[in-house]
Amino acid sequence: MDPHLLRTFTAVARLGSFSAAARELGYTQSAVSQHIAALEADLGVELLGRRPVAPTEAGARLLDHAGPLLTRLAAARADVARVARTPGARLAVGATALACGAATSRAIAGVRAALPRAEVSVRLIGRSAVVRGVAEGDFDLGLVDGAVAPTDPLHLPEAEGLAVRAAGEEPLAVLLPPGHPLAGRPGLSLPDLTDALWLDAPAAAVPLPDLRAAAPGGYPAALRYEGADTRVLRHLVAAGHGLAVLPVSAAPRSAVPLTGPRLVHHVEAVLRPSPPAAVTLFLDALPEADPVR
């Protein structure tokens, strides 16, 4: 399959429109139609219904494969470009906000001590963007976090073809406003809080989908916070806008430990199979853990 045709197909399927895909890709609508027709002819099956524009059953199956295929092609291109440039030492880290804790800072310090002229950078972005950035060569190392059962890995289907290893694990705690009737308890259970009002803060706290997966329930959101600053999150909780869950290292002392179900804040490092020396130094500074996949 021609990757150019595959990119066009995924754009049309995602946008549900030939004209919108043409605008996004910088093609004419006629060229987009020709790309789809050529791909369908190559595979011998209709991939998109036209009224409305939506994947057929075969098209939906192709979409399952398209993301990893295009990601690996981008990774191959990035690797070849890096070899051609023969860059100096670099450690570009892409991370979710809560994945950057004290252990991360110490590991970066170790890299800078060993490679004092290395170019080191840290960028906070969303989980899927971290993994994509590693695959495409924008980052040398990705750090992602989430709430899972102890010893369980994070669900990262987009990391196919990359190496993933455990990089940290700690308990969780619930942030409550002052005077909350549950404040001061020795522990709290998620099933008792599913009907409480929550903050929808996917970058600054444990995302609500992680909580719903662990203990099904509504978790109604009173307010959505798009930032990654946990200080802002604490102010919002203190003002009564909703509850939030944080790893204990990022939570205030007034936070109540989460005791049920058994959940931990888990951090994983995502890297290419043959990482540069700076990444190896970084990983060596973290608690030892076998690759999880």
Q: Which of 79-83, 122-126, 238-242, 272-276 has the lowest mean pLDDT?
A: 79-83
Quote the distance between the C-alpha of residue 142 and its chain's center: 9
Q: What is the pLDDT of residue 157?
A: 85
Task: Please check the confidence at residue 151 and state whether its pLDDT lies above 90.
Answer: no
Model confidence band, residue 274 (pLDDT cutoffs 50, 70, 90): confident
Model confidence band, residue 293 (pLDDT cutoffs 50, 70, 90): very low
| Distance between CA atoms of residues 255 and 252, nearest Å | 6
Task: Please check the confidence at residue 200 and state whether its pLDDT lies above 80.
Answer: yes
| Distance between CA atoms of residues 197 and 237, nearest Å | 10
Model confidence band, residue 291 (pLDDT cutoffs 50, 70, 90): very low
pTM of the model: 0.69
Work out the average pLDDT over 150-164.
Answer: 89
| Distance between CA atoms of residues 278 and 285, nearest Å | 11
Task: Please check the confidence at residue 5 and state whether its pLDDT lies above 90.
Answer: yes
Task: Please check the confidence at residue 290 and state whether its pLDDT lies above 50.
Answer: no
Work out the average pLDDT over 115-132.
Answer: 91
DSSP single-letter state for residue 243: B
Higher-confidence residue of 88 and 75: namely 75
Task: Please check the confidence at residue 289 and state whether its pLDDT lies above 80.
Answer: no
Model confidence band, residue 116 (pLDDT cutoffs 50, 70, 90): confident
Other CB atoms within 10 A of residue 191 CB: 13
DSSP line for 141-197: EEEEEEEESTTPPP--GGGTTSEEEEEEEE-EEEE--TT-TTTT-S-EEGGGTTTS-
Model confidence band, residue 83 (pLDDT cutoffs 50, 70, 90): low
Work out the average pLDDT over 213-220.
Answer: 93
Q: Which two tokens stand for residue 180?
A: 């909350």
3-state secondary structure of 137: coil
Q: What is the pLDDT of residue 117?
A: 83
DSSP single-letter state for residue 253: T
| Distance between CA atoms of residues 115 and 87, nearest Å | 14
Model confidence band, residue 82 (pLDDT cutoffs 50, 70, 90): low
Task: Please check the confidence at residue 111 and state whether its pLDDT lies above 50.
Answer: yes
Q: Indicate the average pLDDT of the chain.
A: 91
* 225-269: pLDDT as tens digits: 999 999 999 999 999 999 999 999 999 999 999 998 999 999 999
In the chain the beta strands, taken as DSSP E runs, fall at 48-50, 53-55, 90-95, 119-124, 141-148, 163-170, 172-175, 188-189, 198-200, 221-224, 244-247, 256-260, 264-271
